[in-house]
Structure 1
């Protein structure tokens, strides 16, 4: 079906497709930076295995290996995408150098993303953000739902750090930052206890969102996890959990399905 034919069909229902497309041009499409390097990031061993049910191997031929390569690839992508675009960063894309040496994920700060802010400013982009709750030695393999208090505390502090970074991105770039909370927590086999992990997960998210932030600038959201490699039988952050949590906490987060 051609656009002309589709336009006529939509018109039967009172829909003006030309006007709809005009509105769409003002909607920012979030460009996922991790598509450029197969979700490797820059904060841990580049040859590490990917965890959390990630549906990639990290071995895509020609993937970006440095921040400079990734930025150059994003520039190429921006030439090909129509409309308005926002960059979308994961926390594992923090940029460390001699001035700002490596820290673990629970200690990252806005300064580790200044080069990304400069990149976005030069191109007129906003920026969304994601804590990285996977592919890290502190996954046991659970994160926010782990029964281990030390593990859970590490990831809660990571989430709080990401709230602060998200507010920095929003303030520097002049538009709201959507901060997406997603974990790959789950099990390959059916667990005896389905409630316990979700109770711990809820409490962890509650604590992350207790970090002060301006809801007009930072829009935390809860994304569900369907299933993935190694978490085929049970996911803690199911669609029902994520949507219900967002519905109950509309004053401080939004849903992302």
Structure 2
């Protein structure tokens, strides 16, 4: 355990257990609940959203800064990297996979990919006893034209991506059926214009028609569910994003679909936690893509902070962890080691999740119901300093996930002996 004393960790946990018990919280039960809530790990962090298709000179709609060495170059390397990252997280995991990471036996067009082209990923997930989520990659491809895919005025372009979207849903359904855990199929397109369009409606009516065709087929809700991801703007589409939050929210409500809430896709001052209870009564599912946007959708590595804690608290207080809310990561930072970045983000999300679960929420609700607003605020402040880190350390010890910063020693060896030799 390096510099971490196991006896100290266990003693600290026993003391924390007594403190939480005085507030009516059973930390042993919380740890078991924690282990039942998956966090979906985004594979595209491992190679800066490049994919395995070997497309040279194709414009990327994803801005990735930095050039840290050791990026995964193929599926085997990426799976090893992800396995290493998950080793140092005590969370229950899922794999979140983009379609551009297919591994077909022979070269195919992206809209021709089928379930067999992801069999390596499915087999790996089954071996690791984890579920999967899926995303159609509507970007970084020659069939992106003038920053448009599903909203393109070029019917050939639009037909190409409609087929890709249809196949994505079919693949997601097969994944869910194969692994026995619902697969969330996410739709995000970067479509938009750099300057002001003369006819916004034309773009959005084309997008609506494309989505109508993609969602024609019905699939078993136990296998897959669909979520739509909006955005304020992207680089190159500053003036107009076709798939805005308003557009997708309206479409999801009308068509009984889910919404993906990427925490980097809103204005910096928007409260994402507040949006959960606002839209949950009207949509079938919510998928969270947790990121850290600094002034814009900059996809910095996820770290602990108030916003992340508030999101987890809101899900817990609404009783949504075991209903129709999925938690996933979505960032890509090439200025630091990509595997270490996964670990930092997973542990940040895990700490926020655990902090929400051990919160004595019942006391807050009781004070609110009785109109004791002063007491509610006092309790809220007091709960911030309860010894959740002692519970976290014990959880990491129990799951052999690295207590404190111990895992960094192993990661430095992995970086030197594996990543730097690529």
Bigger Rg over Cα: 2
Normalised to the residue count of structure 2, the TM-score between the two structures is 0.54
Pick the aligned partner of 2:130 from 125, 140, 143: 125
Query: 2:337 is matched with which residue?
Result: none
In the superposition, relative to structure 1, how do residues 135 and 60 fare at CA in structure 2: closer, same or farther (>3 Å)? farther
User: Matched residues in 2 for 1:35 and 1:156: separation?
Assistant: 26
User: Matched residues in 2 for 1:132 and 1:104: separation?
Assistant: 12
Query: 1:194 is matched with which residue?
Result: 200
Query: 2:110 is matched with which residue?
Result: 105
User: Matched residues in 2 for 1:84 and 1:231: separation?
Assistant: 36
In the superposition, relative to structure 1, how do residues 216 and 82 fare at CA in structure 2: closer, same or farther (>3 Å)? same
Q: CA deviation at 1:206?
A: 1.1
In the superposition, relative to structure 1, how do residues 88 and 58 fare at CA in structure 2: closer, same or farther (>3 Å)? farther
User: Matched residues in 2 for 1:181 and 1:57: separation?
Assistant: 24
Q: CA deviation at 1:17?
A: 8.7
* Alignment partner of 1:73 is 2:81: yes
Pick the aligned partner of 1:142 from 148, 153, 159: 148
Q: Tell me, which stretches of 5 or more residues in structure 2 are unaligned?
A: 1-12, 262-422
RMSD between aligned alpha carbons?
Answer: 2.5
* Alignment partner of 1:160 is 2:197: no
Q: CA deviation at 1:46?
A: 5.5
Greater RCO (CA < 8 Å, at least 6 residues apart)? 2
In the superposition, relative to structure 1, how do residues 16 and 230 fare at CA in structure 2: closer, same or farther (>3 Å)? farther
Query: 2:237 is matched with which residue?
Result: 231
Question: For residues 40-76 of structure 1, what are the alpha-carbon distances to aligned partners after superposition, in whole Å with 9 as ceiling and x for unaligned?
Answer: 111242664312xx13158553211111110110011
SS in 2 for 1:255: strand
* Alignment partner of 1:211 is 2:192: no
Whether the 8 Å CA contact 1:183–1:225 is kept in 2: the answer is no
* Alignment partner of 1:256 is 2:264: no
Question: For residues 115-170 of structure 1, what are the alpha-carbon distances to aligned partners after superposition, in whole Å with 9 as ceiling and x for unaligned?
Answer: 11111111001000000000000000200000111100000000011111111111
In the superposition, relative to structure 1, how do residues 133 and 17 fare at CA in structure 2: closer, same or farther (>3 Å)? farther
Normalised to the residue count of structure 1, the TM-score between the two structures is 0.87
In the superposition, relative to structure 1, how do residues 46 and 36 fare at CA in structure 2: closer, same or farther (>3 Å)? farther
Query: 1:93 is matched with which residue?
Result: 101
Q: CA deviation at 1:16?
A: 4.7
User: Matched residues in 1 for 2:131 and 2:116: separation?
Assistant: 17
Q: Tell me, which stretches of 5 or more residues in structure 1 are unaligned?
A: none
Judging by fraction of residues, say which structure has more helix. Answer: 2
User: Matched residues in 1 for 2:223 and 2:161: separation?
Assistant: 23
In the superposition, relative to structure 1, how do residues 128 and 232 fare at CA in structure 2: closer, same or farther (>3 Å)? same
Query: 2:39 is matched with which residue?
Result: 29
* Alignment partner of 1:173 is 2:179: yes
In the superposition, relative to structure 1, how do residues 56 and 208 fare at CA in structure 2: closer, same or farther (>3 Å)? same
Q: CA deviation at 1:20?
A: 5.8
